Chain A
Amino acid sequence: MRTMLVFWSAVLVNNFVMSRFLGVCPFLGVSKKVNTALGMGAAVTFVMAIASAAAYMVYNYALIPLHVEFLYNIAFILIIASLVQLVEMFIKKSSPSLYKALGVYLPLITTNCAVLGVTVLNKEAGYGLFTSIINGVGAALGFTLAITLLAGIRERTARNDVPPCFQDFPITLITAGLMSIAFLGFSNLIKL
């Protein structure tokens, strides 16, 4: 039950983009097309799930026994960077078109604060291995949900008659702000 709560909390209530404001760079950068946004979401989901597990293991089985917990930030960044490299190699091999569409934002998952954020939040909340992974997957699915919704809206606004001064990024930022307000409607739905 608690894991379900953690999951839905990460997806909706504490949505990483919409209420924690983490990972906004790819959220705005890769949200022009729904397909690309879904690809980005999949890549982030993979990285976040594995990163949550790896960060848990490293923190609990390497940093705590040796009393060097203060190294968690740098160790987590190391884990994430390696994982992103791996994902990049895998996508380059398996789907060159997705690789091209994600472009510079793929290696930028490394510096996506949502990924580091979920590992640090897991550590702070003291989640176990399983709950950490659930939280990671939930946060990533929440990210995917937000970015896909925004991409869908952007695909439509692109065809609309937007005043020149609001075209492209300004209207996207307004859209993102309105979405964030909408997501506030989920607040207090779940109390952890």
Chain B
Amino acid sequence: MSFTILASLGVLGALALLFGAGLGYAGIKFKVLEDERVGAVRELLPSANCGGCGFAGCDGMASAIVNDGLSPLKCPALKAENVQLIAGIMGSSAEAPERRVAFVKCRGTTEVCKYNYKYEGLADCAAAGALAAGGAKSCAYGCLGLGSCAAACKFGAITMKDGLSVVHREKCTACGMCAAACPRGIIEILPYSAEARVFCSSRDNGKTSRANCSLSCVGCKLCEKACEYGAVRVENFLASTDYAKCVNCGKCAEACKSKVIG
């Protein structure tokens, strides 16, 4: 009995040693000289392999940065300090990008939004939106609340609360996977500093919007009138902000009677 145990250990140990030594020798023999900067850049990338850069993963991105001179800013999830470090490795300078976060343009929680029926199908927004008469909520534009964006997020930055996606701004890296996953297209990647955000996507007229959801934009244009910089505009009964013109003065938010800006 004990011989079997020892023999097992011995055989596998000897085999492992033999193969290990062989591989070690082959490793030296077949050594490929790789640009050491690739490894260094790879260390600084977020390692989430989110695919936001368009490459298969962080490895592909690292070699593209080093070999093809791609800007590290192409990585949407890269931390600002790492941009500087990578720029240092590459011997170039890069200015830190403005921090951006994902933003869900909806406030339709279970409390404020009306429901047409109770949905108990597959927890996937695209499936519910396409198959089940546009989802359970009566608003045809808002968050379906089944968490496809939360499932797509590689950084755990989106959770579902009261039938609505909530972005945790500190965890968000603005990689854009949630925006791509949302069948309604109501997730936008915005500058972190943006304040005049419109929490509604409904392009129904005011009466319909309000009937569906008590926190909806009715297109009253009070915000448009309040804005001195021409940054807020109302089109198709829906306010939208031009963040390039917005100075975060907060007047639109004050003016909004429906409480969907801010």
Contact = CB atoms under 8 A, between A and B. Distances in A.
Interface of A: 58, 62-63, 66-68, 71, 74-75, 78-79, 82, 85-86, 89-90, 92-93, 96, 103
30 contacts: A62-B11, A62-B15, A66-B7, A66-B10, A67-B4, A68-B7, A68-B8, A68-B11, A71-B12, A74-B12, A75-B12, A78-B12, A78-B16, A78-B19, A79-B19, A82-B19, A82-B22, A82-B23, A85-B26, A86-B22, A86-B23, A86-B26, A89-B27, A89-B30, A90-B26, A92-B32, A93-B30, A93-B31, A93-B32, A103-B56
Contacts of B26: 85-86, 89-90
Which 4 A-B pairs rank lowest in CB-CB distance, beginning with the nearest? Answer: A82-B19, A89-B30, A66-B7, A93-B30
Interface of B: 4, 7-8, 10-12, 14-16, 19-20, 22-23, 26-27, 30-32, 56
A81 to B, nearest CB: 8
A62 B18 CA distance: 13
Binding site secondary structure of chain A = helix
A79 B7 CA distance: 18
B4 A92 contact: no
A180 to B, nearest CB: 30
A115 to B, nearest CB: 15
Contact of A75 (B11, B22, B27): B11
A50 to B, nearest CB: 12
B3 to A, nearest CB: 8
Contact of A67 (B7, B19, B32): B7
B152 to A, nearest CB: 20
B23 A92 contact: no
Contact of A63 (B11, B19, B22): B11
A169 B161 CA distance: 35
A75 to B, nearest CB: 6
A71 B8 CA distance: 7
Contacts of A79: 15, 19
Contacts of A68: 4, 7-8, 11
A62 B31 CA distance: 31
Contacts of B11: 62-63, 66, 68, 71, 75
Contact of A90 (B14, B20, B30): B30
A66 B22 CA distance: 23
Contacts of B31: 93
A93 B26 CA distance: 11
Nearest to A71: B8
A42 B107 CA distance: 57
A74 B26 CA distance: 23
Given A63-B11, A66-B7, A66-B10, 19 more contacts: A58-B15, A68-B7, A68-B8, A71-B12, A78-B15, A78-B19, A79-B15, A79-B19, A82-B20, A82-B22, A82-B23, A86-B22, A86-B23, A89-B23, A90-B26, A90-B30, A92-B32, A93-B32, A96-B32
